[in-house]
Amino acid sequence: MANDNRQPTTDGPIRTTDYGLRTTNSADLLRSIPALPDHEVRRLLEAATGRHWTSLILGVDLTTGEIVAFHSFVERRRADEPLQYIEGIVPFGPIEVAVDQRVLVPRPETEELYEIAKVAVESPLVIVDLCTGSGNLAIALKHTFPAATIYATDISSDAVELARENARDAGLDVTVLLGDLFDPLPDHLRGRIDLIVSNPPYLAVAELADLPVDVRDHEPTTALVAGPIGDEVLATIAEAGSDWLRPGGVIICEISEFHGPAIADRFASLGGEIKRDLFGKERFVIGAAPQ
Ligand code: GLN
């Protein structure tokens, strides 16, 4: 670039970026990325360098390795990969979990579910998380209730593997089992569970086409879509749930905003009550087994 008289200030070579800017300076680099929102570019540079964006924006010299990593992250994001997969880590309530294409990225709504679950039962001793994915709910609840025994199940062996890694990395003891909903649970838990939580797949097949492309093309479809109607997995949970809860035990599930009344019906024997999320959408069903 004719008017670029910057000198290298690190011992690494000056790189010509994909966008024609010769720089090792983070502030210049941040300005050089078109077609992505600023806050995403900042987060990608944070992820590539391990530095806080306040120092990056002021301008620090970056190594060649950091710049190369940043550009590969930008390319992945431009190909619509979820930002959280690129960052690799998502905060969730009191913990953080690693995420990648094996699992759904935990959503703010599911963090609300965690907040509801935290106060739903006094000192729960046995907690089960169905469709655990990254293990976010199960691990956060173990953090909150260290004395509780926590089981998490998932039908995806990929998810089970990652949930186990996340529990181990958090130093929290969660038993993660491979299988469909209640199937892999030990039989002695029948009628003994204090609290069941779940963010199951709840979209209808037809909804898939209209999802944002980063969700549709990158997150696991089995974690999103339940069947032709979308309430199929929740129907099974509602049916089996009363067998597994102790008398007075509580169940809280995330649901589709379009299914509130139908799900309330399905959970009627547990007194299914529908609760809205912070966006005002009917998002949770809360039930309790009769005393
Ligand atoms: N809330 C998710 C989405 O709309 C769906 C999650 C789910 O099916 N559990 O992307």
Quote the pLDDT of residue 3: 38
| Spatial distance between the Cα atoms of 133 and 101, rounded to a whole number of angstroms | 11
The fraction of the chain above a pLDDT of 70, given in percent, is: 92
Atom of ligand 1 nearest to the CA of 202: 8
Q: What would the pLDDT profile of 14-27 be if each residue is shown by its tens digit?
A: 343 444 445 678 88
Coil vs helix vs strand at 251: strand
Asked whether residue 14 falls in the same domain as residue 96, the answer is: no
Domain boundary pick from 51, 79, 107: 79
| Spatial distance between the Cα atoms of 162 and 41, rounded to a whole number of angstroms | 27
Asked whether residue 103 falls in the same domain as residue 243, the answer is: yes
| Spatial distance between the Cα atoms of 276 and 257, rounded to a whole number of angstroms | 8
Asked whether residue 64 falls in the same domain as residue 98, the answer is: no
Domain boundary pick from 79, 100, 122: 79
On whether the CB atoms of residues 249 and 120 are closer than 8 A, the answer is: no
Asked whether residue 12 falls in the same domain as residue 61, the answer is: yes
On whether the CB atoms of residues 193 and 245 are closer than 8 A, the answer is: yes
Atom of ligand 1 nearest to the CA of 200: 9
Q: Is the pLDDT of residue 225 over 50?
A: yes
Asked whether residue 172 falls in the same domain as residue 38, the answer is: no
Positive or negative torsion for Cα 42, 102, 141, 232: positive
> Does 119 fall in a domain?
yes
> Does 84 fall in a domain?
no
Q: What would the pLDDT profile of 154-197 be if each residue is shown by its tens digit?
A: 999 999 999 999 999 999 999 999 999 999 999 999 999 999 99
Asked whether residue 173 falls in the same domain as residue 252, the answer is: yes
Atom of ligand 1 nearest to the CA of 219: 10
The one-character DSSP state at 149 is E
Asked whether residue 193 falls in the same domain as residue 142, the answer is: yes
Q: How many whole angstroms from 202 Cα to the centroid of ligand 1?
A: 7
Q: What would the pLDDT profile of 34-80 be if each residue is shown by its tens digit?
A: 678 888 988 999 999 999 988 888 888 999 999 999 999 999 999 99
> Does 134 fall in a domain?
yes
CATH classification of the domain holding 234? 3.40.50.150
Give the residue, by CA position, lying nearest to ligand 1 atom 1.
107
> Does 85 fall in a domain?
no
Least confident of 19-28, 86-95, 201-210: 19-28
Which residue range forms the structural domain that includes residue 37? 1-79
Q: How many domains does the chain have?
A: 2
| Spatial distance between the Cα atoms of 146 and 216, rounded to a whole number of angstroms | 36
| Spatial distance between the Cα atoms of 249 and 246, rounded to a whole number of angstroms | 5
| Spatial distance between the Cα atoms of 5 and 114, rounded to a whole number of angstroms | 53
Rg, C-alpha atoms of the chain: 22
Q: Which of 35, 34, 39 is nearest to 21 (CA)?
A: 34
> Does 225 fall in a domain?
yes
> Does 167 fall in a domain?
yes
Quote the pLDDT of residue 25: 82
Quote the pLDDT of residue 22: 59
Asked whether residue 61 falls in the same domain as residue 199, the answer is: no
Atom of ligand 1 nearest to the CA of 107: 1
Q: Is the pLDDT of residue 146 over 50?
A: yes
Asked whether residue 62 falls in the same domain as residue 100, the answer is: no
Asked whether residue 97 falls in the same domain as residue 210, the answer is: yes
Pocket residues for ligand 1 (CB within 6 Å)?
A: 107, 199, 201-203, 215, 224, 254
> Does 237 fall in a domain?
yes
Mean predicted lDDT score pLDDT of the chain: 91
Give the residue, by CA position, lying nearest to ligand 1 atom 9.
201
Domain boundary pick from 59, 79, 99: 79
Asked whether residue 148 falls in the same domain as residue 188, the answer is: yes
- Tracing tokens 């089995």 back to the chain, one arrives at 222
> Does 188 fall in a domain?
yes
Q: Which residues of 245-264 are buried (b: 16+ CB within 10 A; e: fewer)?
A: bbeebbbbbbbbebbbebbb
Asked whether residue 144 falls in the same domain as residue 227, the answer is: yes
Residues with Cβ < 8 Å from 101, sequence gap 6 or more? 85, 218, 219, 220
Q: Is the pLDDT of residue 207 over 80?
A: yes
Burial (CB < 10 A; 0-12, 13-18, 19+), residue 81, is: middle
Give the residue, by CA position, lying nearest to ligand 1 atom 5.
224
Positive or negative torsion for Cα 200, 204, 210, 213: positive
| Spatial distance between the Cα atoms of 8 and 66, rounded to a whole number of angstroms | 15
- Tracing tokens 């590969």 back to the chain, one arrives at 72
Q: How many whole angstroms from 199 Cα to the centroid of ligand 1?
A: 8
Instruction: For a ligand 1 pocket test, name from 90, 136, 254 the mutation site with the most ligand atoms within 8 angstroms of its C-beta.
Output: 254
